[in-house]
Structure 1
Amino acid sequence: MPPEMVFGSMPQDELTPFLKHRQIDATRYEPECNVTLYRDGTNTVLFDVGSGPDFMPTSGKLLDTLSAVNLSPEDVSHVVFTHAHPDHIWGVLDDFDDLLFANATHHFGRTEWDYWWNPATVETIGEDRAAFAVGAKRRMEAIQDQVMFFDDGQEILPGIAARASIGHTPGHMAFEIRQGSDSAMVVGDALGNPHVAFERPDWHSGTDQDPQTAAATRSLLLDQLAEEQMKVIGFHLPDGGIGRVEKTGSAYRFIGKPS
């Protein structure tokens, strides 16, 4: 994707040495896309579904990855959305525009749903993102008969609670998963990369629809994750997206591949 989508609104005089020091190529932006699978013996849950075949030529691999763990779309009982950007919701439809997870209940935050369902959104979101709004509405129309809505703080399934993490989109949600003393946070795009988002969470990202609110959300999430040593699962974080957060002074660090 165009690097300026992330880096364009950041302070360039500080960004350039920051990226160079960390050997980050500022001319390429190829984030991972990690769909989270959760199974508890009763429920088979997907957090987000990727973009399917219609967004980027390198996307649309979800069926292959499900097959690799001996699952079919029919096995999925619940689909839970962090938000409705193309790489998170467009994958609800298959190559024939049929509903891919036909047996699943689709869980959507009420604020996020209302935003994308509103016909005014396509007129106000900006020309470069108008296709996002059109595409989201079409997918939402396809799943509307199988949707359950939830609000911030609500337990949507046993051991899974919604956590408002707005800014990237108006109704973006993270999810706390807890079993006994073990816990993890599915953060979606609230933490969108493993470098700037952690070390300079105050810098505004061009991918966020409300950059100022998103920056405040990042700081709050990072504080909680570091203090509680909770596993983090990020949609665009590396090596499968699973790791922990370590606080180093006033900044944070993503530690991948936990033991």
Structure 2
Amino acid sequence: MPVSRRVFLARGLAAAGAAPALLAPAGGVLADLSLGAARLTTVSDGSLTLPRDFIFGPMPQAELAPILAAHNITGDALTPECNLALYRDGTHTVLFDAGAGPDFMPSAGQLLDSLDAAGLTPEEITHVVFTHAHPDHIWGVLDDFDDPLFPDATHMMGRREWDYWWNPETVDRIGAARATFAVGARRRMEVIEAITEFFDDGEEILPGISAVETPGHTPGHMAFELRGGGQGAMIVGDAIGNEHIAFARPGWESGSDQDMPLAAKSRSQLLDRLASEQMQIVGFHLPGGGIGRVEKGAPGEDDYRFVPA
């Protein structure tokens, strides 16, 4: 049966009775690129199943329909990939986000298998850097005993994002549909607090990695600009959350964003920069492993296109 947006937000998919999600490719490296001597790859955490109105609900439906048709999007469910970025420069092994773990959706939480297929153990991760604290990005940070899954890693989160989810008033202010997001984030943050460092917009958090605040999807959402060997890439998290409407109509408000107008502004600015600078993009929910580039549409038009690597 169709899954309501409220049920999805409140309890994930497991209790909603929807059809199983289509799984992303199993294990190992999905896509990769070189940044000088460093290597940036993506590994799979599986996929999500989302009710279509979770994203499309606030959009003008008559104008939306031909865009969805052009992307062969039909039915009541979307099944986006979950691609975690892994950066290795010979000194640092940096994982961007920690995936969903076992408690969010049955189709997600595959990170450990993917790391194993890529020849890595959790103990080899030196840093876990969060774009934001939604369930599919932070709920996988603990192991089966509720201890840090990456015991030797420094965990890093933007200060504004941390303060938002740490605030005990957030669970009451975020709305009933997202209250479990707040409870789940806070529980995990309490465990990793002692091993977490904070940063602000524009800081170089590690050599060659700078924080770029892209608020709206969450209040302190961060993207990350990576530079090496004269090349650049931007890890965008959920600031650009899909390959269809987010590119074709970036100014439209998406139901997946907590502050929809602010997220649309951040998305438009980010796409304009990525297209003009021809910087590689690494998207958590983009297809084909999430690595590609952004092409601008016709002159005078505010539309873009995702071109997989």
Normalised-by-shorter TM-score class: over 0.9
Matched, 1:109 2:158: yes
Q: 1:203 aligns with which of 252, 258, 280?
A: 252
Unaligned residue ranges in structure 2 (runs of 5+): 1-49
Q: State the shift of 1:99 in Å.
A: 1.1
Output the CA distance in 2 between the equivalents of 1:16 and 1:229: 29
Query: Partner amino acid for 1:177?
Result: L
The 8 Å contact of residues 19 and 26 in structure 1, kept in 2 or not, is answered as no
Local SS of the residue matching 2:157: strand
Normalised by the size of structure 2, how large is the TM-score? 0.82
Matched, 1:8 2:57: yes
Residues 106-134 of structure 1: per-residue CA shift (max 9 Å, x gap): 00100000000000000010111000000
Partner of 1:87: 136
Query: Partner amino acid for 1:36?
Result: A
Matched, 1:23 2:56: no
Matched, 1:70 2:114: no
Partner of 1:42: 91
The 8 Å contact of residues 173 and 188 in structure 1, kept in 2 or not, is answered as yes
Matched, 1:194 2:246: no
Q: State the shift of 1:17 in Å.
A: 2.3
Output the CA distance in 1 between the equivalents of 2:57 and 2:75: 10
Output the CA distance in 2 between the equivalents of 1:225 and 1:83: 20
Partner of 1:59: 108
Unaligned residue ranges in structure 1 (runs of 5+): none
Range 12-21 or range 84-93, more displaced: 12-21
Normalised by the size of structure 1, how large is the TM-score? 0.98
Local SS of the residue matching 2:78: coil
Local SS of the residue matching 1:33: strand
Q: State the shift of 1:26 in Å.
A: 4.4
Structure with greater helix percent: 1
Output the CA distance in 1 between the equivalents of 2:260 and 2:107: 27
The 8 Å contact of residues 48 and 88 in structure 1, kept in 2 or not, is answered as yes
**Alignment coverage as a number of residue pairs:** 257
Partner of 2:185: 136
Output the CA distance in 2 between the equivalents of 1:191 and 1:52: 22
Local SS of the residue matching 1:19: helix
Partner of 1:255: 307
Matched, 1:146 2:195: yes
**Once superposed, which parts of structure 1, at least 4 consecutive aligned residues long, lie more than 4 Å away?**
none
